[in-house]
């Protein structure tokens, strides 16, 4: 049968369109997923409406939770800035890497160049990588993000409470704003700080727009709501519920802008997004701090309010919508999970995290961790296994009297914790010590802790550990 010229032309067009569509679907199916981590600073467990924050205005995060999964037993490695961030990026307890506490301006150490970050795990697979916001793992030279796998960086090298904003330390240098490895503003003023959340958001949206056709890893560690807190003119006073609520509302807006950009370019179904925080609220700041209720204490402690974070995971079609996972997991699990999803090898150096994709996909409700360990500095303060959490004798800081107001902190006092056991399923606020009633559980958790002490040490017991690595050194 002969085909007319017109029919042949139409057949060619149809065949070509089918082939192009088929190729497009094949390319989409073979393209590795994108990853976005949104990391707040000093956010309390109850600072999102979907985690019980009745005074908070967080419609975008609430919707993210409805479309994704809330993780209600998700932990950081230590309740302070630098220690927490190194664990997120490397999959290691921070003690293993000798990054303790918060690195100040001019600190002599940084994240060691031999440690592999999430960005460095993904780069060999062709990922474009960026960080927009607070870094806090080295403020110059090899300490900066572009020496740790990130193609782009715009943000602060450490916390935003440097001179002249810190209420007790006037020896800090001015606060710099860095782009890649260059200081573009050597004195970030209070007026500038109003735009920190907006700047991070605008850079994040631009990054997605520019790399929408290639796999990417985007890390947005917000400077807020770490004190001093600021909201842009658009959000200052917008909630009618105080400046802290305004700051949270602006972070919520930022999350909405980033998710909407993913939707706009049809990237949502190929992008895993994680929202969490570096530690709990800085309670001494009162109305300029958040709430960890119903958890006990906040930032700077191994109580649940210091290390359990409000966490949401979103990936339409992959993470089951409207679900909650209460299995123990943490930021140390992010790198191995991303490596699994991207098909990347794990770092050659030992890490502590586990692949938790079975939890995020809803295939399992069992934590891969036999135990989770709570350090402060080099002191092992507590261990959790299942619902049971055992505290070892240690001192910790707690509010003394009324908290501060309007940017001025209230006083702390040092309290003492004994050998105390809590069932977190029944007593999430850690109020009823049941150690005397369960000596066999105390013995089992103590044995797990002894194993960790042999590996990573414990200053409280004078054990050095055998697997601790050095931090990087800066001039």
Q: Encode pLDDT of 413-429 as tens digits.
A: 999 999 999 999 999 99
Choosing from 81, 86, 92, 325, which is the catalytic residue?
81
**Comparing C-alpha atoms, which of 98, 94, 93 is closest to residue 108?**
98
Predicted pLDDT of residue 30: 76
Q: Encode pLDDT of 232-257 as tens digits.
A: 999 999 999 999 999 999 999 999 99
Helices (H), 186-307: 190-193, 196-210, 243-264, 304-307
- Structure confidence at residue 5 as a pLDDT band (50, 70, 90): low
Predicted pLDDT of residue 208: 98
Predicted pLDDT of residue 24: 45
Using a 10 angstrom Cβ sphere, with 0-12 exposed, 13-18 middle and 19 or more buried, the burial of residue 423 is: middle
In terms of pLDDT, which residue wins out, 3 or 274? 274
Q: And the tokens for 359?
A: 């939890």
Q: What is the mean pLDDT of residues 120-136?
A: 98
Which CATH homologous superfamily contains domain 32-366?
Alkaline Phosphatase, subunit A (3.40.720.10)
Q: Is 343 left (phi over 0), alpha (psi -120 to 50) or beta?
A: left
> Within a 13 Å sphere around the CA of 343, how many CA atoms are in the beta-carbon half?
8
Share of the chain residues as helix, strand and coil, in percent rounded to the nearest 5: 35, 20, 45
**Comparing C-alpha atoms, which of 231, 184, 242, 190 is closest to residue 405?**
242
Q: Encode pLDDT of 29-70 as tens digits.
A: 578 999 999 999 999 999 999 999 989 999 999 999 999 999
In the predicted structure, residue 19 carries a pLDDT above the cut 50:
no
Classified as helix, coil or strand, 309 is strand
Class in CATH terms, 373-464: alpha beta
The domain ranges of the chain are 32-366, 373-464
Q: Is 81 a catalytic residue?
A: yes
Fold agreement (32-366, 373-464):
no
In the predicted structure, residue 21 carries a pLDDT above the cut 50:
no
User: Is 231:196 a contact under the CB 8 Å cutoff?
Assistant: no
DSSP code of residue 228: S
> Within a 13 Å sphere around the CA of 224, how many CA atoms are in the beta-carbon half?
27
In the predicted structure, residue 20 carries a pLDDT above the cut 60:
no
Q: And the tokens for 170?
A: 């006037």
**Comparing C-alpha atoms, which of 324, 412, 396 is closest to residue 360?**
324
In the predicted structure, residue 388 carries a pLDDT above the cut 50:
yes
Report the alpha-carbon distance of residue 427 to residue 210 in Å, rounded.
Answer: 48
Q: What is the mean pLDDT of residues 305-309?
A: 98
**Comparing C-alpha atoms, which of 85, 103, 227, 219 is closest to residue 158?**
103
Q: Encode pLDDT of 129-172 as tens digits.
A: 999 999 999 999 999 999 999 999 999 999 999 767 776 677 78
Report the alpha-carbon distance of residue 148 to residue 204 in Å, rounded.
Answer: 19
Share of the chain above pLDDT 90, in %: 89
Q: What is the mean pLDDT of residues 427-443?
A: 98
Residue 87's φ and ψ, nearest 5 degrees, are: -70, -40
In the predicted structure, residue 7 carries a pLDDT above the cut 90:
no
Length of the chain: 475
User: Is 31:266 a contact under the CB 8 Å cutoff?
Assistant: no
Choosing from 112, 136, 381, 394, which is the catalytic residue?
136
In terms of pLDDT, which residue wins out, 335 or 164? 335
Using a 10 angstrom Cβ sphere, with 0-12 exposed, 13-18 middle and 19 or more buried, the burial of residue 70 is: buried
Q: Is 381 a catalytic residue?
A: no
Could you check whether the bond before residue 280 is cis, i.e. omega within 30 degrees of 0?
Answer: no
Q: What is the mean pLDDT of residues 366-381?
A: 97
């Amino acid at each position: 049968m002969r085909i007319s010229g017109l029919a042949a032309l139409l057949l060619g067009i149809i065949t070509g369109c089918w082939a192009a569509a088929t190729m497009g679907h094949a390319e989409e199916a073979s393209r590795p997923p994108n990853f976005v981590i949104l990391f707040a600073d000093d956010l309390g467990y109850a600072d999102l409406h979907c985690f019980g924050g009745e005074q908070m205005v967080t419609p975008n995060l609430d919707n993210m939770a409805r479309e994704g999964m809330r993780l209600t037993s998700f932990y950081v490695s230590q309740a302070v800035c630098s220690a927490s961030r190194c664990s997120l990026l490397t999959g290691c307890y921070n003690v293993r890497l000798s990054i303790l506490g918060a690195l100040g301006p001019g600190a002599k150490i940084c994240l060691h160049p031999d440690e592999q970050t999430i960005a460095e795990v993904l780069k060999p697979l062709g990922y474009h990588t960026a960080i927009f916001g607070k870094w806090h793992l080295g403020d110059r030279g090899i300490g900066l993000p572009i020496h740790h796998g990130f193609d782009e960086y715009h943000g602060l090298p450490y916390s935003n409470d440097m001179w002249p904003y810190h209420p007790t330390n006037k020896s800090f240098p001015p606060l710099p704003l860095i782009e890649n490895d260059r200081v573009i503003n050597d004195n970030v003023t209070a007026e500038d700080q109003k735009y920190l959340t907006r700047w991070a958001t605008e850079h994040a949206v631009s990054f997605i727009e520019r790399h929408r056709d290639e796999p990417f890893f985007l890390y947005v560690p917000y400077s807020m709501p770490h004190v001093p807190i600021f909201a842009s003119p658009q959000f200052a006073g917008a909630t009618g519920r105080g400046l802290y609520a305004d700051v949270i509302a602006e972070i919520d807006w930022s999350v909405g802008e980033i998710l909407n950009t993913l939707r706009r370019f049809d990237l949502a179904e190929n992008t895993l997004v994680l929202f969490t925080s570096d530690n709990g609220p800085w309670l001494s700041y009162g109305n300029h701090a958040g709430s960890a209720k119903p958890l006990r204490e906040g930032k700077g402690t191994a109580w649940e309010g210091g290390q359990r974070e409000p966490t949401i995971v979103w990936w339409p079609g992959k993470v089951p919508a409207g679900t909650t996972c209460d299995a123990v997991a943490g930021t140390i699990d992010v790198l191995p999970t991303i490596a699994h999803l991207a098909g990347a090898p794990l770092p050659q150096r030992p890490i502590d995290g586990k692949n938790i994709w079975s939890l995020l996909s809803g295939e399992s409700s069992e934590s891969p961790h036999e135990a989770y360990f709570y350090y402060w500095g080099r002191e092992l303060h507590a261990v959790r296994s299942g619902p049971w959490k055992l505290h070892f004798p240690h001192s910790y800081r707690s509010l003394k009297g009324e908290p501060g107001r309007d940017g001025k902190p209230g006083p702390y006092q040092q309290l003492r914790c004994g050998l105390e056991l809590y069932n977190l399923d029944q007593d999430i606020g850690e109020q009823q010590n049941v150690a005397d009633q369960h000596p066999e559980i105390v013995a089992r958790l103590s044995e797990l802790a002894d194993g960790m002490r042999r590996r990573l040490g414990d200053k409280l017991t004078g054990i050095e550990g055998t697997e601790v690595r050095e931090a990087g050194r800066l001039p």
